[in-house]
């Protein structure tokens, strides 16, 4: 059986990410990336689908890392991502915004007036969570660096 997951802000190729994710024990971007890949592969099977909600990869040299990660990958582009054309060989879908089972999938949170009765699963804000059950922050820091089952999020948000 396959499942659908979400995660955001992998930050592959961000040379200083280990300095921003303080207390995690990373000494370099490479060490950080290996941890993200290991955590990903600990939950995802080859039949699962994962939506990465932006800031996946800053440089073209780290794109091959996605081949080491299990599952079918889709991408909602983030403010730090490369041009979409670079991601096409590695992702089934690449878009700016997506809808999934009544929820908006975006990189940055959508303004509450634009939710139109839907939940918003997003990234971008890292440690900052919006105190509203219509929003779920899927940044690595908030999901323990493991993709989160989207059905569990929708149940929590009543979406």
Residue-level pLDDT at 158: 55
The tens place of each residue's pLDDT in the chain, 159 residues long, gives 799 999 999 999 998 887 777 667 788 889 999 999 999 999 999 999 999 999 999 999 999 999 999 999 999 999 999 999 999 999 999 999 999 999 999 999 999 999 999 999 999 998 899 999 999 999 999 999 999 999 999 988 754
Q: How many residues does the chain have?
A: 159
Helices (H), the chain: 17-20, 29-41, 84-87, 150-156
23: Cβ contacts below 8 Å, ≥ 6 apart: none
The CA-CA-CA angle for residues 55, 60, 65, to 5°, reads: 75
Angstrom distance (rounded) from CA 44 to CA 146: 9
DSSP state at residue 95: E
Q: Helix, strand or coil for residue 119?
A: strand
Angstrom distance (rounded) from CA 119 to CA 103: 5
Domain residues of the chain, as ranges?
Answer: 4-156
Query: Across-strand partners of 72?
Result: 49
pTM, full prediction: 0.94
Render the burial of 8-38: b for 16+ CB within 10 Å, e for the rest: bbbbbbbeebbeebeeeebeebeebbebbbe
**Which residue from 98, 8, 12 is spatially nearest to 52, judged by alpha carbons?**
8
Whether 122 and 136 have beta carbons less than 8 Å apart is answered as yes
Angstrom distance (rounded) from CA 137 to CA 110: 12
CATH homologous superfamily of 4-156 equals Metallo-dependent phosphatases (3.60.21.10)
């Amino acid at each position: 059986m396959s499942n659908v997951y979400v995660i955001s802000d992998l930050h592959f190729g961000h040379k200083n990410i280990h300095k921003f994710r303080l207390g995690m024990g990373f000494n370099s971007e490479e060490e950080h990336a290996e941890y993200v890949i290991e955590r990903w592969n600990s939950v995802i099977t080859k039949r699962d689908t994962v939506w990465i909600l932006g800031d996946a990869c800053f440089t073209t040299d780290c794109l091959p890392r996605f081949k080491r990660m299990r599952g079918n990958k889709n991408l909602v582009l983030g403010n730090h991502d490369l041009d979409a054309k670079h991601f096409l060989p590695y992702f089934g879908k690449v878009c700016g915004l997506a809808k999934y089972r009544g929820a908006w999938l975006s990189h940055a949170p959508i303004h509450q007036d634009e939710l139109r009765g839907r939940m918003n699963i997003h990234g971008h804000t890292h440690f900052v969570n919006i105190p509203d059950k219509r929003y779920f922050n899927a940044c690595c820091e908030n999901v323990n660096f493991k993709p989160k089952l989207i059905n569990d999020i929708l149940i929590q948000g009543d979406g």
